[in-house]
A and B are shown apart, each in its own frame.
Chain A
Amino acid sequence: MEKWPNNKAWFLVLPAFIIVAFSGIIPLMTVVNYSIQDIFGPGEAVFVGTEWFKEMLGNHRLHDALWRQFMFSGLVLLIEIPLGILIALAMPKRGWGVSASLVILALPLVIPWNVIGTIWIIFTRPDIGLFGVGINSLDLLEVPFDHTAKPIYAWITLLAMEVWHWTPLVALLAYAGLRAIPEAYFQAAKIDGASAWATFLYIQLPKMRGVLTIAVLLRWMDSFLIYAEPFALTGGGPGNTTTFLSIYLVKLATMQFDLGPAAAFSLIYFLIVLLFSFAFYQALLNVGRGEKA
């Protein structure tokens, strides 16, 4: 390879490098630093190696939070992705309905997380909330609906909040994917006598592969990192039933001030997100490929 006589161009990368360093690398390294030391006070740190990691991997409260987290993210994906696709399929393709439905869909996306929490708390309150009062007046439930009353109620409220907030994103992505399919594909499918289901399975779904990959990754990461909603709703309760990983982590780090274990936990958390994102990406990239007759 030919060498450039002047390498000063590297300096142009410097601003970007500094920004990335301060926003990513240095904080991450700080966490790594905490995770392998026991810090008693300024200047009083003891190197402990992998002790925090071992402790955290054996921590039952972390295990519980992790399973809760998987359950939650799994449910989120199972509801949001098919629902988003259904909404996208049902959306109008031309006329004023397009703009109208796009604006309506985008509304939940522009509302801040904490506001969403407040909206839903008020909406589901058993004394003044439309939903809470409404469902309790039907007198169907053994225990009257109140998101602090039973774990299942808290979960339903959280899932409803999350689905209401983020399904529009999936729908918008899926809609963009659908609109990008040339009309000739549908005409060919008609001529080939394909049913609506076959058209969906062999044309629309494969053509949405790219946007759905993005949707799954975004919703996976975001729901796995969920914090504001359960914090606003019950702060992790009732009991520990909505204590997800990030809620537990924040408790550990800022309330109990166990920085070492919290740092080790953060790194494990980070690796789990990374690993699963990679797995989803690979799976979605390759699903339905290499099919043989």
Chain B
Amino acid sequence: MARIELNEIAHSYHPNPADESDYALKRIQYVWEDGGAYALLGPSGCGKTTLLNIISGLLIPTRGKVLYDGIDVTGLPPEKRNIAQVFQFPVLYDTMSVFNNLAFPLRNRGVESGEVDRRVREVADILDLTPYLNKRAEGLAADAKQKISLGRGLVRSDVAAILFDEPLTVIDPHLKWNLRRKLKDIHEQLKLTFIYVTHDQVEALTFADKVVVMYEGEIVQIGSPQDLFDNPEHTFVGYFIGSPGMNFLDCTLEGNVARCNGARIPLDDGVAAKGRNAQGKIELGIRPIHLQVSSVAVDGGVPANVKMVEDQGSYRLVNLTLDGKTLRARVPESEPIPEDQAWLVFPLEWTRLFADGRLIK
């Protein structure tokens, strides 16, 4: 059991990093609480795997410290830390049986054979691997292999945290769901800290209690799935979370109204006041699900043209243009959609302003 603290971590793959852009990770400060289920979400190349490897000890950060329960482990190799890692594709010892695969980390640590046997059977039972124990690992299906990789982490009684590096990438879609459920069950059963790296928001949001969103080497927001959806603190979070992502419009503020080219969008008084004080490029953001489409002129409505309607089965996605900018609105199947001319309503409570990408609050 451990609480993992990242203290001012920065990492660069350059031997002599000169400026900010040489860093794959820029100043990460975070505490992973014991027993939490975390997801580390971000696009490819945002530094999430780098961060994971720093936590596991495969990489030593250029700057900063990693603390486990307050003890500095920054310079310790992975085998000296009580963590386990599951990789993108299953890593197995091909020539060994499933049993020996699971026993391997224990035997390397000199655990006596009775204890090895007991632990392996226990873990095999949790992972539904008991029938395969005597089979050779090589011939098994991808999901079973990935469970063995996980099992090699679980089998160690001292393990405090298990790190997952996009573990479901090679699993068939219909098995993904099962395996994700299994992970969640195991987390509830064993109360270990799970840190799960993924670029798939569905995976992150279903798996984790807390999602850490990374973008260009920085943590841009940490929160529950609901938080990320309702209150994105960065335009990247708005764009990355949700399907499709948030709509953004460049605008200038005139009193309580946001001017986006010709369109005038009314804002909440408080938001507008803070926005007027903010520095940098101002953007207005709204989620497609919150954007209301009306076929008749309404008070505070902004005229727009319907370009395309995508029927997604349970809802429809309407693409509209507003002064040359494309916006998307998510409309329930039951509601009518205007043919061409439409009026958009931006509800005050869901219309956000961002200054240089950061939420104005």
A interface residues, Cβ below 8 angstroms from B: 182, 184-185, 187-188, 190-195, 198, 202-203, 206-207, 288-293
Contacts and interface: CB of A to CB of B under 8 A. Distances in A.
Given A182-B89, A184-B87, A206-B94, A192 B108 contact: yes
Contacts of B93: 202-203, 206
22 contacts: A184-B88, A184-B89, A187-B56, A188-B152, A190-B58, A191-B56, A191-B58, A191-B78, A192-B105, A193-B79, A193-B105, A195-B108, A202-B96, A202-B104, A203-B93, A206-B93, A289-B136, A289-B138, A291-B100, A292-B97, A293-B97, A293-B99
A184 B98 CA distance: 19
Nearest to A201: B95
B83 A293 contact: no
A187 B79 contact: no
Contacts of B98: 293
A175 B84 CA distance: 29
Interface of B: 53, 56, 58, 77-79, 83-85, 87-89, 91, 93-100, 104-105, 108-109, 133-134, 136, 138, 149, 152-153
Contacts of A206: 93-95
A169 to B, nearest CB: 25
A184 B91 contact: yes
A245 to B, nearest CB: 36
Contacts of B89: 182, 184
Given A190-B77, A191-B79, A195-B108, A288 B95 contact: yes
Contacts of B138: 289
Nearest to B159: A191
Contacts of A185: 91
A202 B103 CA distance: 13
A191 B84 contact: yes
A136 to B, nearest CB: 49
Given A191-B58, A207-B94, 19 more contacts: A182-B89, A184-B88, A187-B53, A187-B56, A187-B58, A192-B105, A193-B79, A193-B108, A194-B104, A195-B108, A202-B93, A202-B96, A206-B94, A289-B136, A289-B138, A291-B95, A292-B134, A293-B100, A293-B134
B145 to A, nearest CB: 12
Contacts of A184: 87-89, 91
Given A184-B88, A202-B93, A289-B95, A191 B104 contact: no
A286 to B, nearest CB: 11
A259 to B, nearest CB: 50
A290 B53 CA distance: 34
B159 to A, nearest CB: 10
Nearest to B83: A191
A287 to B, nearest CB: 9
A162 B348 CA distance: 84
A198 B101 CA distance: 12
Contacts of B53: 187
A94 to B, nearest CB: 13
A187 B97 CA distance: 20
Contacts of A190: 58, 77-79
B14 to A, nearest CB: 15
A206 B91 CA distance: 13
Contacts of B134: 292-293
A148 to B, nearest CB: 47
A201 to B, nearest CB: 9
Contacts of A289: 95, 136, 138
A184 B94 CA distance: 14
A132 B149 CA distance: 57
A291 B97 CA distance: 6
B105 to A, nearest CB: 4
B97 A193 contact: no
Contacts of A293: 97-100, 133-134
Contact of B136 (A188, A198, A291): A291
B115 to A, nearest CB: 15
A70 B298 CA distance: 96
Contacts of B109: 193
B80 to A, nearest CB: 9
A192 B97 CA distance: 16
Contacts of A202: 93, 95-96, 104
B94 A187 contact: no
Contacts of A288: 95
A187 B96 contact: no
A182 B90 CA distance: 11
A198 to B, nearest CB: 7
Given A206-B94, A291-B136, A192 B100 contact: no
